[in-house]
């Protein structure tokens, strides 16, 4: 049996706690003989600053490149906010992974489990049955482009500059990811930009329109302005299937989509590079989108479902075992249906458990689902 190498980087805040629950499932899969995994661990973010003085070391990037997947926790927190130079902040750790591994495609599913249809702040009929995928361009745009600087002006004011820039090829490659995903779902792509005020939006609209006409005429394409999309996400989110957008809008709107599901603690993500032309292997990093949540770190309160869901995405996109991923997703749904909840998704009739309790419950349900494998 082929062995897959996973680099585990727990990070900061609740990162180590939620990652630990995902790793328990990885270990069980390996011990059960369903797949064979080799686990290694390293540091990034604030933990790496404390240990090595930098948010990520070149050696860690090299280990990630040699791995089949990276399971990532979270980075940052008040311990380092304003206390380290901007150029050495914890968040630079994950940005460096994205840049150095060329992880240009960020997949962020937003799915409402039936048991949580009443947990959203929106009416149940608005989000019940929600199942969308946000495809975010991850290595370009305003977060990565230069020039980026703060300067003093002659009149005594201070000005800050960030640069938004996209090329035809960058838009095409993320567009292809969205169209290919749509073909496996409901065959609809919504391209999101701000062409009414941004030149990058004008190009984005043109390239996506041409790409659909030339390569994906079988897939429905519509265009939404980013602000209108934000409104529609809280008005009628089920109209969407696959949404594709730039780095900035993807960051903002995926967090809006996260709250539709009841809690930001529910949403996983995958950051993928292009497959190697010879081996087919792709660089990949999987992480929950909820951040480090330092206010609840170390209290056994964090919801590990997003971290577990990130493992499910790794099973699909890096380990080619969608059958195991399906069983893991079913296990999560069954646990929620049984009334077991962490505090962020609690209901009046639920059994509230902590991080470890939720991880154990999902593992038990997953083991049961895997009996037929």
Catalytic (active-site) positions: 143, 194, 227, 251, 255
Query: Of 42, 3, 49, nearest to 19 (Cα)?
Result: 42
Tokens representing 373 are: 């494998």
How far from 245 is each of 306, 311, 321, 366, CA to CA, in Å? 22, 24, 28, 34
Q: For 197, what's the count of Cα atoms within 13 Å in the CB-facing half-sphere?
A: 4
Determine the distance from the C-alpha atom of residue 335 to the mean position of all C-alpha atoms in its chain, rounded to a whole number: 22
Q: Are 185 and 203 in contact (CB under 8 A)?
A: no
Give the whole-angstrom CA distance, residue 176 versus residue 181.
Answer: 8
Query: Of 15, 18, 17, 38, nearest to 27 (Cα)?
Result: 38
Give the whole-angstrom CA distance, residue 158 versus residue 361.
Answer: 53
Give the whole-angstrom CA distance, residue 154 versus residue 93.
Answer: 35
Backbone angles phi, psi at 46, to 5 degrees: -60, -35
Q: Looking at the DSSP assignment, which residues form a beta bridge with residue 151?
A: 159
3-state secondary structure of 188: strand
Query: Of 54, 136, 132, nearest to 98 (Cα)?
Result: 136
Tokens representing 132 are: 């969308």
Residues 6+ apart with CB under 8 A from 120: 112, 126, 127, 259, 260, 261, 262
Length of the chain: 373
């Amino acid at each position: 049996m082929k062995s897959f190498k996973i680099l585990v980087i727990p990070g900061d805040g609740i990162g180590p706690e939620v990652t630990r629950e995902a790793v328990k499932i990885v270990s069980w899969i390996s011990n059960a003989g369903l797949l064979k995994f080799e686990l290694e661990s390293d540091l990034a973010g604030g933990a790496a600053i404390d240990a090595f003085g930098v948010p990520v070391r070149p050696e860690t990037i090299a280990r990630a490149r040699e791995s089949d997947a990276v399971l990532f926790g979270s980075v940052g927190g008040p311990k380092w906010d304003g206390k380290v130079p901007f150029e050495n902040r914890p968040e630079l750790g994950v940005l460096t992974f994205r840049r150095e591994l060329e992880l240009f495609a960020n997949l962020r599913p937003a799915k409402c489990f039936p048991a949580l249809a009443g947990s959203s702040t929106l009416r149940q009929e608005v989000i019940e049955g929600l199942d969308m995928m946000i495809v975010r361009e991850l290595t370009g745009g305003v977060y990565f482009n230069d020039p980026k600087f703060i300067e003093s002006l002659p009149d005594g004011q201070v000005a800050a500059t960030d640069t938004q820039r996209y090329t035809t090829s960058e838009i095409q490659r993320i567009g292809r990811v969205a169209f290919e995903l749509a073909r496996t779902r409901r065959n609809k792509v919504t391209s999101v930009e701000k062409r009414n005020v941004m030149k990058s939006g004008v190009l984005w609209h043109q390239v996506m329109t041409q790409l659909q006409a030339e390569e994906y005429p079988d897939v429905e394409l519509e265009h939404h302005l980013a602000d209108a999309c934000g409104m529609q996400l809280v008005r009628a989110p089920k109209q969407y299937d696959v949404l594709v957008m730039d780095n900035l809008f993807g960051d903002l709107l995926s967090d809006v989509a996260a709250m539709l599901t009841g809690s930001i603690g529910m949403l996983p993500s995958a950051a993928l590079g292009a497959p190697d032309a010879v081996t087919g292997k792709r660089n990949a990093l999987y992480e929950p989108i909820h951040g480090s949540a330092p206010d609840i770190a170390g209290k056994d309160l964090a919801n590990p479902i997003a971290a577990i869901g990130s493992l499910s995405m790794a099973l699909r996109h890096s380990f080619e075992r969608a059958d195991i991923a399906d069983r893991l997703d079913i296990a999560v749904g069954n646990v929620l249906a049984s009334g077991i909840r962490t505090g962020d998704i609690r209901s009046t009739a639920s059994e509230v458990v902590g991080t470890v309790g939720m991880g154990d419950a999902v593992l038990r349900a997953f083991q049961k689902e895997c009996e037929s494998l």
